[in-house]
Amino acid sequence: MAEQQLSDLIPRFDLRGMDLQLERMRHAIQALGSPCGDIPAIQVAGTNGKGSIVSFLSAALQQASIHSGVTTSPHLVSWCERIAIDGIPISETQLRQLLLAQKQLCAKHQLTPFEQLLTAALAHFHAESVDLLVLEVGLGGRLDATTAHPNRPVIAMASIGLDHCEHLGSTLTAIATEKAAVITPGARVISAEQPEAVRDVLEQTCSANNADLQWVDPLPKDWSLGLAGDWQRRNAAVARGALQALDRLGWSLDEATIRAGLAQARWRGRLQTVTWQGHPLLLDGAHNPPAAEQLALERQRWQGQEQGVVWILGIQAHKQAVGMLQLLLQPQDQAWIVPVPSHRSWTRDALVQEKQHWGDQLRDATSAEDALKRIEETSGWPQPMPVLAGSLYLIGDLLERRLVQAE
């Protein structure tokens, strides 16, 4: 896999830890001659839904034949997933060459892995003469590496909620302030409904920057979307607004083009049905309480869910696992608690210590595969199908080892 092949150039994220700082990225870009500095970008910020919005944008831009470079994070299997032009990921050979060429620069400016990859992406996009960028914020916004790009006239704001509180603050106002800091003077900002505290911050920040804030409603049911889940109508509406905002940059996308693009969007690991040993399994990357709340709402659409759902949950130790389970777990459900590979994770015992009444519902397994085997040993495969959630890293491990197959 590309991640293993590039491990000599990209250190593991956990070895560096979270190190948010904007100036070193700005200095590194300047040292490279500011690649793509004059190319406009749609910057995608927020907490939940950024990747989905990027997927919708990318598909629609391909439909419109707008030559676009796209960055996203995290990846599921390969580092190369994070850098794409017109929907085609960078090759492992190309990425290796770029990282080698920039090795001394990255060391001089002490760039984090995320910053290394963004620097490589900008160089790649410059070499391929893209006309538009789509940059997904990694974490926060004010100090995120994507904010070092000087030309961000369109901001697509995903849902903002409580996550990464140890870095961004413990209140919605604090987190929204960090994320709203991406808004540039005169920008067009697109957002769907937000909590009142978030709404206040966005309105104040846009007013202070003379930015145009556009609120959008979820797309109606007659819009066919390539991503499953009712909440995707909200994400698709934000993407549509951002695409329409391109008219200020000289591109005019008609509704038919936008509709066709949104219908073609694909994003692995988000309400994705796969098979394991011939059995259906639902994968979802929900890894914080706001995303768990959306998944719990989606559950109401599943046939037979009132009889109970079997969950396989791998949740990193720094995540709000108790809040997630309070939203996901119904009295008739069962949940297998598994470790996220190569990450400190919540255990069954730790969760039961927090909420003793979960003792009869939670089960221990050594891995997701172990949990699946033990589920199979029961009398009949569960209906509705089991749901594996809690971490994109957990999903990526299953996909990388080819333990599941996409339908």
Q: How far apart are CA 247 and CA 268, in angstroms?
A: 30
* pLDDT at residue 1 tops 50: no
Cβ contact 149:121 at 8 Å? no
pLDDT in tens, 268-292: 888 999 999 999 999 999 988 988 9
Q: How far apart are CA 305 and CA 300, in angstroms?
A: 7
Q: How far apart are CA 388 and CA 283, in angstroms?
A: 5
pLDDT in tens, 295-311: 999 999 999 999 999 99
Task: Spell out a b/e string for 256-275, using b for 16 or more CB atoms within 10 Å of the CB, else e.
Answer: ebbbbbbbbbebbbbbbebe
> By C-alpha distance, which of 131, 134, 129 is closest to 82?
134
pTM: 0.88
pLDDT in tens, 184-205: 999 999 999 999 999 999 999 9
Q: How far apart are CA 181 and CA 276, in angstroms?
A: 43
* pLDDT at residue 261 tops 90: yes
140 pLDDT tier (thresholds 50, 70, 90): confident
DSSP 214: E
How far is residue 393 from each of residues 42, 119, 131, measured CA to CA in Å? 26, 23, 32
Residues 6+ apart with CB under 8 A from 208: none
Domain 2-264 and domain 272-406, same fold? Reply is no
Instruction: Pick 22 or 240 by higher pLDDT.
Output: 240
CATH T-level assignment (fold) for domain 272-406? Protein-Tyrosine Phosphatase; Chain A (3.90.190)
Coil, strand or helix at 289: helix
Place of tokens 């100036």: 23
Rg, Å, the chain Cα set: 21
Cβ contact 288:320 at 8 Å? yes
Quick one: average pLDDT of 150-159?
A: 96
* pLDDT at residue 379 tops 90: no
CATH T-level assignment (fold) for domain 2-264? UDP-N-acetylmuramoyl-L-alanine:D-glutamate ligase (3.40.1190)
Domain boundaries, the chain: 2-264, 272-406
* Average pLDDT value over all residues in the chain: 92
- In the chain, pLDDT over 90 holds for what percent of residues? 81
Please give the pLDDT value at position 168.
64
Please give the pLDDT value at position 2.
47
Cα angle 308-312-316, degrees, rounded to a multiple of 5: 135
CA atoms within 13 A of residue 168's CA, in its CB half-sphere: 26
394 pLDDT tier (thresholds 50, 70, 90): very high
